[in-house]
Amino acid sequence: MNVKEIIKLVACVAAQDGIISKIELETAYKLINSEIGKIDKKSFNSFIVEFFEENLTLEDYLLAISKEYNPEIIIDICYKSATSDGLEIRENFAFDKVCKFWDADISKYY
């Protein structure tokens, strides 16, 4: 399984406030390793660098996610990573779009 797309989606949500904090990255790394699949720190960091070099939209990252993954787990990782340093309004809007994309109940998170 390729976790690169999930890492980039999580980064996209977390970056909506203009920065991805160290705690957001650490939270994402831990959750992806425990919930999706093992990935070494060097590969994780290289995918984050790729994310910053790309010019894609949140929708592009959502569409790139393989159907083999459970959307609830991905949504949970996005939420926990983005909220690990406080959920800023732009992150909230992005998270809302993620939930709507997969028809998830956003009220579960608030």
pTM as predicted = 0.94
- In the numeric block, which tokens belong to residue 35? 């919930």
How many C-beta neighbours within 10 Å does residue 28 have?
26
Q: Would the pLDDT of 62 be above 70? A: yes
Look over the chain and give the mean of its residue pLDDT values, rounded to a whole number.
Answer: 95
Nearest to 78 by CA among 48, 110, 87, 68: 87
Q: Would the pLDDT of 76 be above 90? A: yes
pLDDT at 109 (0 to 100)? 85
